[in-house]
Amino acid sequence: MNRLRTPAACFENLADFPFAASYVDVSDQEGGTLRMGYVDEGPKAGPPVVMIHGNPTWGYMWRKLIPVLAENGYRAIAIDLIGMGRSDKPTQMSDYTIARHEAWVKEAVFEKLGLKDAHFILHDWGGIIGLRAIADYQDRVASVILSNTGLPVCDPDQPVKKMARKGAGMLRAFQLYVRFRKNWQHWKTLSRITLKDMPPEDVAGFAAPYPDKRYLTGNRQFTQLLPTRNDNPMLVENWRALQKLKSFDKPFLTLFSDKDQVAPKGYHSVRPAIPGTRDYEPVILEGGSHFLLEDIPEAYGREVIAFLKTIEGNSNDQNDRALGGSDQSSSDKGRPSRASSARRRRNPRSR
């Protein structure tokens, strides 16, 4: 597989992104290897938190969350999907499929890095790819936060009555636009979607991995993989992943924004189908576009840390009960269960 590698100089002096690059090799599934880049900050012995971005972003989107996680004792790992960020960039559109992205993430996160008890934060395409990867490694996952994305499916046992998916007209037009625009400067598209005006240096940070149009292939192909038709193979693959995830009962928070232009109701695709979501009402943050970490990073970070700390507290409570037997101490009496605590504390559209 032919690939490009963005020169390291392109990543120098990026705004709010002082993080060193780490790399892991994954199979290109054609007899060669590809280098996947990732950020690895915070204490190496801390609970790992894996962040997976979508399109047209890269690990740079997590730049304001990474230090928050590290300061709270977590090992913050932000991967760059193949074709994006500091990762290698195969040169042909056909090199990229969702199945390959899934395989690359599985190999990097679970096989090469060997992560266990990992928390996952997933955004946009990172939601689909991440959930599919998690479905086969549920015993290695501690929790999931899903943001501004969904898991569209198609049941293979149900007849397809209409090929075009509902509401896909705008997406089809977008696909056509990008298909013939090889120099799609997607960082400009991103800056037009955010609700807050992005500083020029932040826009430059999203543009940094792509010094010329040859490096844009992976971003452009993501647009062509959008599920605008019911014969998109991704939909059945997603359905199969969802069947596996129906046994995932670990903490699962849907953390969305109220002005998301892409998947504002995406949490309905996983909730209540995935058991872990049932203990946590959706949290809808105010004032955020699809790229909510550009608009409301502080609010997002607060909710992430609150969720993770709640999980830690529940785990400690369970350990205490295991050591002390079934009797509750006086300080534990009247404490709500995880489910009731989460529901009472988290009220949609109140953040």
Active-site residue numbers?
124, 260, 290
DSSP conformation class of 111: I
Contact 38, 77 (CB under 8 A): yes
Let me know if 36 is exposed, middle or buried by CB neighbors in 10 A (0-12, 13-18, 19+): buried
First-last CA distance in the chain? 46
Among the listed residues 305, 267, 262, the one whose alpha carbon sits nearest the alpha carbon of residue 284: 267
The residue behind tokens 């500091």 is 86
257 bridge partner residues: 285
H helix runs in the chain, sequence order: 66-71, 98-105, 125-135, 169-179, 186-193, 200-207, 217-224, 233-245, 292-295, 297-324, 338-345
In angstroms, the CA 218 to CA 253 distance is 29
Q: Residue 15, SS3?
A: coil
| Burial label, 253 (beta-carbon count in 10 A; 0-12, 13-18, 19+) | buried
**Tokens, residue 262:** 């892409």
Q: What is the dihedral of CA 280, 274, 102, 64, to 10 degrees?
A: 0
Q: Considering only CA atoms, which of 304, 302, 331 is closest in space to residue 317?
A: 331
CB under 8 Å to 18, separation ≥6 — which residues?
A: none
Q: 341 — alpha (psi -120 to 50), left (phi > 0) or beta? A: alpha
Q: Give the whole-angstrom CA distance, residue 210 versus residue 220.
A: 12
Helix (H) or strand (E) holding 32: none
